[in-house]
Amino acid sequence: MLHTVSRNVRASLQATCLNLYRQSRNYNAGLSETPSPVVSIVGSGPAGFGIAQFLLKNNTNVRINMIEKRPVPYGLVRYGVSPDHQDVKNCINGYEKVAENQRLSFYGGVEVGNTLSLDDLMLTCNGIVFCHGAQEVNRLNIPGEELSNVFNAKEFVGWFNGDEEYRHINPELDGDTAVIVGVGNVALDCARMLLKPTRVLKETDITQHALKCLEKSNIKNVILIGRRGPLQMACTRRELSEIMEIDDIHTTISNEYITDNVKDALNVKKLSLRKTQRLVKYLMKYSNNDVDATSCNFSIKLMTTPIEICGDKKISNVVVRNNIVSSGDAFNPKIIPGDVIEKIPCSILITAIGYGNKVLDGRIGNSNGCINAIEGRLDFPFPIYACGWCRTGPKCVLADTLNDCLVTGGRIIEDLESWSDAGVKQPLPEILRRKNIEYFTWKHWKEIDAHEISSGSKIGKIREKIITYEDMASIAFGNGK
């Protein structure tokens, strides 16, 4: 009996001590010398904000430093989502609430791996989460890719979305035909921006220089080229329908791509295949249409590979070769080169064949740039994690990134209690000042944000983006930079 009482008292005392310890940690979180774990998140796009939201919600003690190489936040949402997809950009409202949490600090204009080394960053926090996305683009690696008016999708999308790096690309839209290589959502974004009436873009956040260029465009025909068949198209039905259902756009796709094997595949009963099957059924409504010389045309050319881009300094045509199916089922066919060669006259070519990953530090990336992370965590002496495209490679929808945030975020929450060196060794602002790295805070971003919205409202737009670093610094710091 005494043994039982003693055991109960001991358990009660342990629970009381644990509770007092937790209370002291929460109390100390507000002090200058805090034992609160600090997590550095590299990147402020969907993955970065997804991780931040998860951590802040599931741990009341954690503090976050969000580090972004650009002066302003939101990454892919700001610089990758098309201006006519404002509904997708509404996620920014939720991100803003996360950023205004007192336990999160934003540091814009700081590039990890360049201006700030990984070793420096490790001195300022207890754990790091890389969420910097896919920074590189895949190339065709064929002759003529260096010709004028040949762009990759990152350049073209960055141009109309106000990315400073691509503001000078100046696409020439004086010809009547554009070729886009790729059949994913990004390829369709590029096609839609070339074909969509500019009157419906005027109120969006498209940059004014891009809008004026599109208003003068002579592009009447857009040809989408895909290496494989309809069942391998990487786009969504919604993205496809947005182009096909534009007024005065005539869509063509040859019915030779809708083979008996493809038709049989449409009857396979499997939940994971339904999206693809619906996409192909939608495509079949437009099969075997002829090009209409009296309207704008959107043509889908599958089972085709570009092999050379031709022109005298500037592109004049692209040489393509047909592909054939040699084996495999309809969903995973083996494609081999055919022997039919064709020239497609065009005045501009955009490649949208996917993104690659950039290694920020040789210790954390593999040969293709992706960060190897099991359930989000790297095999590294310091707690380092990865989430989003830098870990998984590019995915077509934000939902995939949000799911990855749940996996990686859950792993971090599990690991927090095991981190041995609680508390910050050196405050990040001190290291940034010592290295003379100028950075933008969330307050600075809100000043830029207000300026963009005000400038846009004067010309009937949602916002007019500030493009250059110098202009952003001038608005944020008021120092005339």
Q: What is the mean pLDDT of the chain?
A: 88
**Looking at residues 425-454, what average pLDDT do you find?**
96
pLDDT number for residue 270: 92
Classify 127 as helix, strand or coil.
strand
**Looking at residues 401-415, what average pLDDT do you find?**
90
Checking if the pLDDT of 149 tops 70, the result is yes
Band of pLDDT at residue 35, cut at 50, 70 and 90: low
Please say whether the beta carbons of 302 and 230 come within 8 A.
yes
pLDDT number for residue 398: 73
Q: How far apart are CA 384 and CA 374, in angstroms?
A: 11
Checking if the pLDDT of 9 tops 50, the result is no
Residue 410: strand pairing partners = none
Give the residue among 127, 212, 213 at the shortest CA–CA distance from 408. 127
Q: How far apart are CA 389 and CA 184, in angstroms?
A: 16
Classify 135 as helix, strand or coil.
coil
pLDDT number for residue 298: 95
pLDDT number for residue 394: 75
Higher pLDDT, 291 or 241: 241
Q: What is the pLDDT of residues 67-111, one digit of tens each?
A: 999 999 999 999 999 999 999 999 999 999 999 999 999 999 999
Q: What is the DSSP letter of 306?
A: E
Higher pLDDT, 47 or 419: 47
> Where do the domains of the chain lie, and which CATH numbers do they carry?
35-135+357-440 (3.40.50.720), 139-352 (3.50.50.60)
pLDDT number for residue 424: 64
* Chain centre to alpha carbon of residue 319: 30
DSSP string of 358-397?
A: --SSTTT--TTSPPP-BTTB-SSSS-EEE-THHHH---SS
**Looking at residues 214-239, what average pLDDT do you find?**
95
Checking if the pLDDT of 284 tops 70, the result is yes
Q: Is 20 exposed, middle or buried (0-12, 13-18, 19+ CB in 10 A)?
A: exposed
pLDDT number for residue 422: 60
Residue that is written with structure tokens 């002759």 in the block: 143
Q: What is the pLDDT of residues 325-347, one digit of tens each?
A: 988 888 999 999 999 999 999 99
Write the CA distances from 202 to 212, 460, 461, integer angstroms: 10, 8, 7
Torsion, Cα of 328, 333, 338, 340 (10° steps): 130
pLDDT number for residue 12: 43
**Looking at residues 27-48, what average pLDDT do you find?**
74
* Chain centre to alpha carbon of residue 89: 12
Structure tokens at 107: 């540091």
Band of pLDDT at residue 255, cut at 50, 70 and 90: confident
Checking if the pLDDT of 31 tops 60, the result is no
Checking if the pLDDT of 15 tops 80, the result is no
pLDDT number for residue 421: 60
Checking if the pLDDT of 32 tops 80, the result is no
Higher pLDDT, 139 or 420: 139
Q: What percentage of the chain reaches a pLDDT higher than 90? A: 72
**Looking at residues 429-448, what average pLDDT do you find?**
96
Residue 180: strand pairing partners = 224, 350
pLDDT number for residue 257: 92
Q: What is the pLDDT of residues 354-375, one digit of tens each?
A: 887 777 777 776 556 677 777 7
Q: How far apart are CA 457 and CA 462, in angstroms?
A: 6
Strands 177-181 and 221-225: parallel
pLDDT number for residue 161: 97
Classify 261 as helix, strand or coil.
helix
Q: How far apart are CA 234 and CA 236, in angstroms?
A: 7
DSSP alpha helices (H): ranges in 266-335? Answer: 274-284
Q: How far apart are CA 139 and CA 351, in angstroms?
A: 8
Band of pLDDT at residue 55, cut at 50, 70 and 90: very high
